[in-house]
C-alpha cells in the first residue's frame, strides 16, 4: 500500500519536475523556486526515500558478504550490537574497536568490511547514486534505514568525549580553510546568515540554526535527478563547488566536517530522511 503511494508520488515528481525545468528557463525563477519549495514540503510525507529505507532494512538483516553474517548480528553503531534506535543522531562518535571517530556512513562501511568481509575499495568505487543508475548503492540504503530509526530523536554528538571534541575542532578549521583557484572555504558560501547563490539558500553552518538546516533532511531523496543521497555525497559535491580536488570516500576530513555540522545542531529533533531539491 505504502509502496503504491510512493510510486504515485514518484510519477507526480516526474511530471512536476519537468514543469519546473520549463519554468526555470523563463524569467521568473524566484516564483518558480517558491512554488517548488511548497511542492517539496507537501511531498515530504510520501518520500520516495521510504523505499530506500525498506531496502536498507533487508540489507541490514540479511546474511551477506564473504563471511556470511548480517549487520544486525555483528555491527555495533555505538549502542550495542544490532541496536539502531537513536544511533544515527549520536554519530559521529568514537569507536574503540576502530580507534577512530566515525560518522554513520563510515561506521556502516567499517562493519561491512570488518564483520562481513566486503572490500573497502569495492564499496568506495561507486558510493553515490547517479541519475541514470537503476537504484541506490547498498550503503546508501543502509544509511537511510539507520537514519530512519532516529526519527524524532535529538541530535546528540558527545562533545564531552575528548576524542570527539578534537575532531570537532579540526572540522571547524577545515570549514574555514581557504584554498584553490577561487580562494573558497566552506564558510565563504556558508559563513553568513541569510545568503544565497542564485536562488539557493545557503545555511550558515557555524550557527545552530544554520547547522540544523544543513543536517536536517539528510540522507535525502533529491528531486534533481531523482536520486537517494547521503551527507557523504553532500560534502563531496560541496568540495567540487569549492574547486577543490575530490575528498576520499569515508575519510577523516569528511567525518571531521560532519562532526562539526552535526554537533552544532545538537539538541534539535531530527525528522528523518527528507526531500531536497
Q: What is the CA radius of gyration of the chain?
A: 19
Which H or E run contains 229? strand 227-229
Q: How far is the CB of 255 from ligand HEC (least distance, A)?
A: 12
From residue 239, give the alpha-carbon distance in Å to each of 47, 236, 243.
27, 5, 6
Residue 186 touches ligand HEC, criterion: CB under 6 A: yes
Among the listed ranges 50-58, 100-108, 136-144, 185-193, the one in contact with ligand HEC (CB under 6 A) is 185-193
Residue of minimal Cβ distance to ligand HEC: 186
Residue 68 touches ligand HEC, criterion: CB under 6 A: no
Residues 6+ apart with CB under 8 A from 107: 75, 77, 78, 91, 95, 98
CA-CA distance, 72 to 60, in Å (whole number)? 6
- Residues in a beta bridge with 69: 64
Q: How far is the CB of 118 from ligand HEC (least distance, A)?
A: 27
Q: How far is the CB of 237 from ligand HEC (least distance, A)?
A: 8
Residue 199 touches ligand HEC, criterion: CB under 6 A: no
All three cell numbers of 186: 566552506
- Of 183, 185, 153, 166, the residue nearest 260 (C-alpha): 166
Could you say which of 11, 111, 186, 238 is catalytic?
238
Q: Degrees (nearest 5) of the Cα angle 136, 237, 193?
A: 120
Closest CB to ligand HEC among residues 113, 199: 199
Residue 195 touches ligand HEC, criterion: CB under 6 A: no
Please report the beta strands in 153-212, taking only residues with DSSP state E, as ranges in sequence order: 195-197, 200-202
From ligand HEC, other proteins, none, interface partner of 257 (C-beta below 5 to 8 A by class): ligand HEC
From ligand HEC, other proteins, none, interface partner of 234 (C-beta below 5 to 8 A by class): ligand HEC
Question: Judged by CB under 6 A, which of 190, 227, 236, 250 binds ligand HEC?
Answer: 190
The widest CA-to-CA distance across the chain, in whole angstroms, is 57
Q: How far is the CB of 185 from other proteins (least distance, A)?
A: 8
Phi-psi region of 257 (alpha: psi -120 to 50; beta: other; left: phi over 0): alpha
Cα 128 from chain centre: 11
Binding mask 125-164 for ligand HEC (x = CB under 6 A): ----------------------------------------
Residue 64 touches ligand HEC, criterion: CB under 6 A: no
Whether 11 is a known active-site residue: answer no
Residue 48 touches ligand HEC, criterion: CB under 6 A: no
Which residues contact other proteins by CB under 8 A?
27-30, 33, 166, 169-170, 172-174, 176-185, 188-189, 192, 194-199, 202, 240-241, 243-248, 251-254, 256
Residues 6+ apart with CB under 8 A from 117: 65, 66, 67
Closest CB to ligand HEC among residues 145, 184: 184
Q: How far is the CB of 221 from other proteins (least distance, A)?
A: 22
CA-CA distance, 129 to 62, in Å (whole number)? 22
Closest CB to other proteins among residues 14, 21: 21
CA-CA distance, 186 to 169, in Å (whole number)? 15
The residues annotated with a catalytic role in the active site are 238
Amino acid at each position: 500500500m505504502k509502496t503504491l503511494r510512493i510510486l504515485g508520488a514518484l510519477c507526480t515528481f516526474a511530471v512536476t519536475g519537468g514543469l519546473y525545468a520549463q519554468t526555470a528557463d523563463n524569467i521568473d525563477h524566484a516564483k518558480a523556486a517558491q512554488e517548488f519549495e511548497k511542492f517539496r514540503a507537501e511531498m515530504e510525507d510520501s518520500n520516495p526515500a521510504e523505499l530506500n529505507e525498506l531496502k536498507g532494512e533487508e540489507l541490514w538483516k540479511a546474511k551477506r558478504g564473504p563471511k556470511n553474517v548480517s549487520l544486525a548480528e555483528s555491527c555495533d553503531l555505538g549502542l550495542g550490537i544490532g541496536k539502531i534506535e537513536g544511533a544515527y543522531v549520536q554519530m559521529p562518535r568514537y569507536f574503540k574497536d576502530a580507534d577512530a571517530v566515525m560518522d554513520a556512513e563510515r561506521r556502516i562501511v567499517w562493519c561491512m568490511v570488518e564483520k562481513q568481509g566486503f572490500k573497502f575499495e569495492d564499496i568506495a568505487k561507486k558510493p553515490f547514486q547517479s541519475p541514470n543508475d537503476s537504484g541506490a548503492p547498498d550503503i546508501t540504503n543502509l544509511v537511510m534505514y539507520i537514519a530512519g530509526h532516529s526519527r524524532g530523536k535529538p541530535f546528540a554528538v558527545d562533545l564531552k568525549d575528548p576524542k570527539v571534541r578534537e575532531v570537532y575542532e579540526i572540522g571547524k578549521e577545515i570549514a574555514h580553510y581557504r584554498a584553490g583557484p577561487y580562494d573558497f572555504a566552506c564558510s565563504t558560501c556558508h559563513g553568513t546568515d541569510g545568503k544565497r547563490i542564485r536562488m539557493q539558500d545557503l545555511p550558515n553552518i557555524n550557527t545552530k540554526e544554520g547547522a540544523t538546516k544543513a543536517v536536517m533532511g539528510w540522507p535525502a531523496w533529491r528531486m534533481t535527478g531523482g536520486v537517494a543521497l547521503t551527507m557523504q555525497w553532500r560534502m563531496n559535491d560541496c568540495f567540487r563547488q569549492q574547486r577543490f580536488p575530490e575528498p576520499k570516500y569515508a575519510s577523516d576530513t569528511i567525518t571531521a566536517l560532519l562532526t562539526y555540522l552535526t554537533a552544532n545542531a545538537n539538541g534539535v529533533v531530527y525528522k528523518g530522511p527528507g526531500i531536497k531539491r
